[in-house]
Amino acid sequence: NMAIEYLLSNQKITQTSYENWLKEVTPLSMDSQTIIIATRDEFVLQWLSDKYTNIIENAIEEVIGEKLNVQFVLENTEPQIEEPSFVTNQNHIQNDFSEVDNINTAYSQTPQQQFTSQVAPNYELSNLNEFYTFDNFIVGDGNQFSYNISLSVAQNPGKKYNPLFLYGGSGLGKTHLMQAIGHYILQQNPNTKITYVTCETFLNDFINNIIREKNNNEFRRKYRDVDVLLVDDIQFLAGKEKIQEEFFHTFNHLYSLNKQIVITSDAPPTELSKLTERLISRFSWGIITDMQPLDIETRIAILNKKVEMLNSDEYFPSDVIEYVASQFELNVRELEGGLNRVLAYASIYGARDINLDLAVEALKGFSKKSSEKMSILRIQKIVAKYFQISVEDLQSKTRKQPLTTYRQIAIYLCKELTDNSLQKIGQNFGKRDHTTIMHAVDKIEELRKKDKEIDALIHELKNQL
């Protein structure tokens, strides 16, 4: 109970999550290693095992200062040790608290949505994020096909491609595109009833209405009395048979009335092995399309759009935009996060101008690319290539000019762009000691201030890195 209180009071979980999942659990037994927690409900059991094991373990550790394994069981059953089905889903158990609550809060009403709901009454019901429109969606090779299909669905809801099944990796714009369909349809016909839900909401609603209250009218009304149903992240239904069955009936009902259904998933239907066959076969009745990572030009365009929408006074030079775009190849959410980080960095560290140096600093060790790929050797290679010398030259003891300056530049970049100690950098430059390294860094810093050409050169090298 203390652990749960800790979670609530520190807003690690929302009140809604607590009501849905944790309110009725009871501790069954505890020894020095394991605490067993019971629940009466099979669905709750599955959900808790999937999503809350780590969260509760961490909370217990916070509160009592000791790590205990948490195991959930059905009440009145013998505790099972290492039940395999608990383990299969461990992959997407989060190690920190943030993700689960993001799921819960991401689509709660925002002030903007309340505002738009005054414009069109069905906005509020639809639960759409006002930014996720076709207008705000940048089209590139990776998403062109899905975009065209989505637009076509939006123009002919229920008539052309039904269901539409969109899949692709995290952060590639599935939710955005799906909601854009909703916006478009609502704009054409404000009386359309649109429901957007994540699968978690679908599951929550199902449990609240059917299991808890033994009354499924409200649930049925919400999901069956609609013109367009947008169901996000269907992979969450994997392995949960009862709820899949309910979704199957919902699907059939809407489909038979020619109501548009749009589904997203992180994997194609054929790879959703834990969904029942009949559900998977339904998905292929319409059209299945995927979202792929975007090329650098598209990523730059997305950042420019985002800057435009930020409406901030800050000026983002194009080399900064290019640098940020180059650091996040696979996930647009992270790409946007990178931009925000640069912006935050500029304001936190004394209202600094946004330039390439600042961007590099802000994203140092933050973007996957910079932490994985930026190594001393990589910097040496790029610098050597740039000055048409060899890496061995950089590592040698030779003190001839201009080699010495080239070496100092490489050392400077290593200090700036990696987390290596001066000593470590020294070892990689012909076993020089840390004072020599420090001297090189100071020297280049000074040169940059005095000499515009050197400064530009360092910029160029950073760009190439």
Nearer to ligand ADP, 269 or 426 (CB): 269
Interface positions, 155-194, toward ligand ADP (CB under 6 A)? 168, 170-176
**How many positions of this chain bind ligand ADP (CB under 6 A)?**
17
CB of 334 to Mg ion, least distance (A): 13
Interaction between residue 201 and ligand ADP (CB under 6 A): no
Closest of 373, 403, 401, 374 to residue 391, by C-alpha: 403
Q: Out of ligand ADP, Mg ion, none, which partner does residue 173 contact, by CB within 5 to 8 A per kind?
A: ligand ADP
Query: Quick one: CA torsion of 115, 119, 124, 129, rounded to 10 degrees?
Result: -70
Q: Out of Mg ion, ligand ADP, none, which partner does residue 352 contact, by CB within 5 to 8 A per kind?
A: none
In sequence order, what are the residues at sequence separation of 6 or more whose Cβ sits closer than 8 angstroms to the Cβ of residue 74? 38, 39, 40, 42, 45
Token reading at 270 = 């054929």
CB 328 within 8 A of CB 338: yes
Interaction between residue 333 and ligand ADP (CB under 6 A): yes
Q: Which one of 13, 138, 441, 444 is in contact with ligand ADP (CB under 6 A)?
A: 138
Interface positions, 52-111, toward ligand ADP (CB under 6 A)? none
According to the annotation, is 289 in a ligand binding site? no
Q: Which one of 332, 409, 447, 465 is in contact with ligand ADP (CB under 6 A)?
A: 332
d(CA 105, CA 201): 11
Interaction between residue 338 and ligand ADP (CB under 6 A): no
CB of 167 to ligand ADP, least distance (A): 9
Q: Out of Mg ion, ligand ADP, none, which partner does residue 163 contact, by CB within 5 to 8 A per kind?
A: none
d(CA 289, CA 261): 14
3-class secondary structure, 242: helix
* Binding window for ligand ADP (CB under 6 A); candidates: 39-47, 137-145, 204-212, 418-426: 137-145
Residues that bind Mg ion (CB under 5 A): 174-175
Interaction between residue 137 and ligand ADP (CB under 6 A): yes
Q: For residue 209, give the DSSP letter.
A: I
CB of 230 to Mg ion, least distance (A): 11
3-class secondary structure, 85: helix
d(CA 366, CA 345): 12
Nearer to ligand ADP, 45 or 332 (CB): 332
Task: Decide: residue 401, CB within 10 A, 0-12 exposed, 13-18 middle, 19+ buried.
Answer: exposed
Nearer to ligand ADP, 224 or 333 (CB): 333
Q: For residue 38, give the DSSP letter.
A: E
Positive or negative: CA dihedral 303, 307, 310, 314: positive
**E strand spans, 105-259:** 164-168, 194-198, 228-232
Angular region, 456: left φ>0, alpha ψ -120 to 50, beta rest: alpha
Interaction between residue 455 and ligand ADP (CB under 6 A): no
Length of the chain, in residues: 465
CB of 324 to Mg ion, least distance (A): 22
According to the annotation, is 171 in a ligand binding site? yes
According to the annotation, is 175 in a ligand binding site? yes
For ligand ADP, which residue has the nearest CB?
Answer: 173
According to the annotation, is 174 in a ligand binding site? yes
Binding-site residues for ATP: 171, 173-175
Residues that bind ligand ADP (CB under 6 A): 132, 136-138, 143, 168, 170-176, 302, 332-333, 336
